[in-house]
Structure 1
Amino acid sequence: MKHRRILSLWFPRLGAERCLRLERGLPRRPFGVVGEERNAQVLVSLSAEAEAAGLRIGQPLRDARAMCPELDTRLRNRDLDAAFLGVLRRWAGKFSPWVSEEAPDGLIVDLTGCAHLFGGEGALIGEVEADCAHLGISVRVGVADTVGAAWALARFAGGTADAARTGDDINQEARATRSCAARRRHWVKGGAAPAVAPDMVRKMQIAPPGATRSALAPLPVAALRLEEETVATLARLGLRHIGDLAGQPRAALGRRFGRHLVQRLDQALGVEPEPVNPARPATRFAVRLTLPEPIGLSEDITAAIDRLLDPLGEKLLRAGRGARQIRMECHRSDHTMQVIEVGLARPSASGDRIRPLLMMKLDDIDAGFGIDMIRLEARATEPVHSHQHRGHAEAASDGATRLGSGAALDDLIGRIGARIGLESLTRFHPGDSHIPEKTALIVAAAWAGPAKNWPRPAMLRPSEMWRPEIVLAAETPDLPHRFRWRGRDLELCVALGPERIAPEWWLDEPDWRTGVRDYWRVTTRTGERLWLYFGHGGTMSPGWFCQGSFA
């Protein structure tokens, strides 16, 4: 039976080297990526030159500037770093189909049954390092039988004989003896660490099959992916190496440090399984047309679009999905690209519904020196379902009318949205509230269907509604015959009401602090048709207000 073999890839300078890839060929200066932690700017990723200058991860930016005035910095962009790690994950797929991401700067590869294709594990690691050197990326590797062991070897084995790996770091000594440790000559007692030969580094990086426990024994307990507080507590107890920890009773460790410590130890030693979960590849719906000669005429671009829409629609139909957003890329002969995007009010795979939207944007394309490749991609898709009629009567009358009018309205929304943006088109939907101003919700027309089952209020609502305005009248519940509103004296002619509406007691709304309201439909002698109410006073004084008008 073959041993399971895991490869761990750690990119210790991922953020910094991602930015430096854009500046290849320029003189290398100390470079760092700055992030915000605890309301302070600190260094989160450093280049090799910055580390050689004495800078460290987590160091405040002001201290780093004082130590290295020529330091060049950029702000951290988590999204770009995650996208770049995804690119590296796809690259690592050449070694094995089972690759998962260890955010924010690592990959886990299941090499079981794959290493012999590259000449063995040593040759495979050599190819990994060669590819990363070509990409300008620093990498540390580790190979073992378990995920936890490979992770530990990649970060704590190889390179120089790190003091943290031996457990004799000067910071681990008592404060009373720390000042004397720097004067000791032997490196174990605080001096400089000796260099390690390259062949020895490779042996540290690869744990032979079945030798996981012996490979992990000299590593520090931090290699078990534990929290800093747990590592510090173990160091105070004298448990600095994994070998020291592995010989302790599991029950005592579980009672003292919890289940997490025991689980991490068992995962690293292979007692508890830890699977490699590869990321599901993103489903892309895209087609492209490479042209033998650059084109620039609108007729040629239209012909290319017509050739691409049918294959794109077939891909969408096979997957049972419809496009909501279409992206068209026009790659020009001078290695530049122009992009146009259109959105659909309803998901569709029909080229007849996508083509008019692209034609509306055709004038925005600048061919430049010519377009030699056109690509169409459905950036956003949704599941679509075919409509099935329940009978001949419905198919002949109501069903056909409903489907036809709905498709026409969706096409209209899509065309208007191509001009002013789909987010600018809204429609009303019924709201679940008895408060008049909350009975209608404004939603995006492209992402919501026509409203149905509107609730019928007890009395007719005004065609125009606004926030309550003060009406000068007697502060009594009796409807006044004369009142003053917006600087005008008005006289009552006809009134209908009252309709009592109570506030939502579970919400504190400033406009409803007047408590229970009695609404009246009022017509004045000068023709105004107003919506008045008397607030009986909750946390405010009672009085009359006007909230709307009827057409």
Structure 2
Amino acid sequence: MLWTALLLPPGPDATPPTDDQLRGLAIWALHLSPRTAIAEDAVVMEVEASARLFGGKRALRDRVVLEAADLGVQAIAWSSTSLAALAFARAGRENGIRGALTALLDPLPMDTLSAVRPHRTTLSQLGCRTPGDVRALPRGGLSRRFDKQLLVALDQAYGLRPEVHVWVELPEAFKVRHELMARVEAAPALLFAARRLLFAARRLLLQMCAWLAARHAGITAFTLRWMHDAMRPRGADPGGELTIRTAAPMRDVEHLCRLLAEHLAKTTLQAPAGDLELEALDVQPLEEASKSLLPDTSRQGESLTLTLERIAARLGPEKVRRPVVREDHRVEWAQHWQQAPQPLPKRGTRRNRFPQPTFLLPEPLRLAMDGHLPMYQGTLQLLTGPHRIEGGWWHRVQVGEAQCTRNVARDYWVARSPHAGVLWVYLERLAKDQTAWYLHGAFA
């Protein structure tokens, strides 16, 4: 088996990482391996079965090192047992798989194994400096003079006994709180902090995106909350919050960071912020894109949807609109404009067997008549039809102080004009004037 250990740095006054910090790191690790556990002051995960999924051990190692750095991980190590990986991480040695485990683990400092630390003074007086020295002592004497846990831990670290772990389970909802190491007085600093501290908002977003990856899901809304310092000015609120929405389900941490940065740049804090909280609001299943044998050049740049979201965050959602197709037989309402950050409606599979015009008039034009035939730059010749469209009784609009419906009852025809070409006309049904013909569009 292949294990990796993720070691967080100690807190102020050399205090170990908090339970919330370890829990957050473990949730992030679940998108890499379901066999993830909290072991002492670190997170360990068994990744033998995940290596092929992520492109091999080298690719998996590079990914873990890159992403874990943003989460504040101090050291990473790999070995064939979890306790050995943890010992290598404490010793600052990443590779614990290149060679025999005994030869690699024996020369490490003795206190890299937690079970040795309570007996460090006694073992030092016996001349032990490394795990190899401790292991060389007579087992009978060790079992009588020290507790049983020392021998068990040694055997488990060297792979002589099976290890027992309580696996971390993926929570049903994501809501994580993080205490800032320094108070923040400006909103942009919530996202862009010093490199050493690693900006806290990005750390929370990384954990959320990893949680989404483990659930094979994406998100269309999340909320970032900040809690003001207890010594806030009189009249200041206890905290504030910011809700971010996306047009489609996603878990792209880079885009979410850029989107959050645009909103935070326009936010003013009433008091210094001490804590952050990130909550996932709208989680939806995300369809994974299949891998391709050929390079996909269409995905190398930022998509139009992501670009529009960033522009809307900067200028305001009411300033950016895009056309959206609706499932509506009434052609003039089959397309409308909506705010860019809103989710796109799902499109059906309706197919129209009748010709559709290339150009539509803003408003249908009432046509003159030549007997029973309509006229437009000459008498029209009706080619195909009628194509009956009826609907819109549910569509109500406000006109002045009254409401009216957009119900239509029309028979459409494709017609030819002697001088204007092929046109799209309709006869208004159920009208007082039974000869109410209108020009609605033209074909290219």
More helix by percentage:
1
TM range (shorter): 0.3 to 0.5
Q: Which structure exhibits the higher relative contact order, with contacts defined as CA atoms closer than 8 Å and separated by 6 or more residues?
A: 2
More strand by percentage:
2
Larger radius of gyration between Structure 1 and Structure 2: 1
* TM-score, structure 2 as length reference: 0.45
* TM-score, structure 1 as length reference: 0.37
